């Protein structure tokens, strides 16, 4: 199993408020999982803990048999940059950089921008943005900027892609385009995708749906696609 959560719990504040409770699950390589539930159910909190962006209060997360809480900062940074890709509801592109330069940002951090350039150009073309490769974010639509963000997340060929409401700020046409891209990343590149979504139709596009309520997992079902 590639990602394993063992009795996860999460509290914050004083007095403490519980936002995750007793979550145990495993996500094998190549899976495509949607996390669903009402607002406040704990979907995003679980995503952040599973992806190493936040620490659990109780329990542990194992990625490839390693407890991420026991990793040093250097090891954790390497894991995030080389093994994990992140896509959020807002694209977080750098306004002063072109589409190509934005996609190459993770490669720049490890001095691989030259060797990864061909892949960056290929991803940009694959996502329908070849003619806009040298434009700036302000010259793109919302859907185009989100596609750039996904290409950036995929540039290092991550084993795991975490997406938090990646279609939340998009219209229907662009949202469907983003979902098709995520499905393609899962099918063609065998990337494990874990996605938070409030849209039931998009949740069904995943192979598996984990339903949450009040910080707990209340259902874990395979989708019939």
Q: What is the mean pLDDT of residues 4-20?
A: 91
pLDDT, position 81 = 83
Q: Among 155, 28, 150, 30, which residue's Cα sits nearest to residue 82?
A: 155
124 and 36 assigned to the same domain = no
37 and 123 assigned to the same domain = no
pLDDT digits (tens, 9 = 90+) for 146-188: 999 999 999 999 999 999 998 887 888 888 888 998 998 899 9
54 and 27 assigned to the same domain = yes
Tell whether the model's pLDDT for residue 5 goes beyond 70.
yes
User: Where in the sequence is the domain holding 67, given as residue range(s)?
Assistant: 3-83+158-222
Tell whether the model's pLDDT for residue 130 goes beyond 80.
yes
pLDDT digits (tens, 9 = 90+) for 104-122: 999 998 999 999 999 999 9
Tell whether the model's pLDDT for residue 224 goes beyond 80.
no
pLDDT, position 111 = 93
| Beta-carbon contacts of residue 212 (< 8 Å; ≥ 6 apart) | 35, 36, 37, 41, 42, 43, 46, 218
pLDDT digits (tens, 9 = 90+) for 21-60: 999 999 999 999 999 999 889 999 999 999 999 999 999 9
pLDDT band of 82, cuts 50, 70, 90: confident
Tell whether the model's pLDDT for residue 192 goes beyond 70.
yes
CATH number for the domain including 167?
Answer: 3.40.50.300
Q: What is the mean pLDDT of residues 176-204?
A: 91
pLDDT, position 208 = 95
Tell whether the model's pLDDT for residue 1 goes beyond 60.
no
Helix extents (H) in the chain? 43-50, 73-82, 99-103, 105-109, 117-126, 142-154, 172-188, 200-203
pLDDT digits (tens, 9 = 90+) for 49-60: 999 999 999 999
196 and 210 assigned to the same domain = yes
How many other β-carbons are positioned within 10 Å of the β-carbon of residue 17? 10
pLDDT, position 24 = 95
pTM, entire model? 0.92
163 and 147 assigned to the same domain = no
pLDDT, position 225 = 61
Q: What is the mean pLDDT of residues 120-149?
A: 94
**Final residue of a structural domain among 130, 156, 182:** 156
């Amino acid at each position: 199993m590639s990602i394993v959560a063992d009795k996860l719990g999460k509290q914050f504040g004083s007095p403490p408020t519980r936002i995750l409770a007793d979550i145990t699950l495993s996500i094998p390589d190549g899976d495509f999982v949607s996390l669903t539930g009402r607002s406040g159910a704990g979907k995003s909190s679980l995503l952040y803990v599973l992806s190493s962006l936040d620490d659990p209060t109780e329990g542990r997360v194992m990625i490839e048999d390693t407890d991420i809480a026991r990793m040093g900062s250097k090891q954790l940074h390497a894991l995030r940059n080389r093994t994990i890709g992140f896509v959020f509801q807002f694209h977080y592109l750098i306004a002063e950089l072109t589409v190509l330069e934005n996609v190459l940002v993770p490669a720049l951090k490890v001095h691989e921008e030259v060797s990864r350039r061909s892949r960056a150009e290929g991803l940009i073309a694959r996502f329908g943005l070849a003619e806009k490769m040298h434009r700036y974010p302000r010259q793109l639509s919302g859907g185009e900027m989100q596609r750039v963000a996904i290409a950036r997340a995929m540039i290092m060929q991550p084993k795991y892609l975490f997406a938090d409401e990646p279609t939340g700020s998009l219209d229907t046409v662009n949202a469907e385009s983003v979902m098709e891209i995520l499905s393609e990343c899962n099918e063609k590149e065998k990337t494990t995708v874990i996605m938070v979504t409030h849209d039931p139709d998009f949740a069904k596009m995943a192979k598996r749906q984990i339903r949450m309520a009040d910080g707990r997992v209340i259902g874990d079902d395979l989708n019939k696609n």
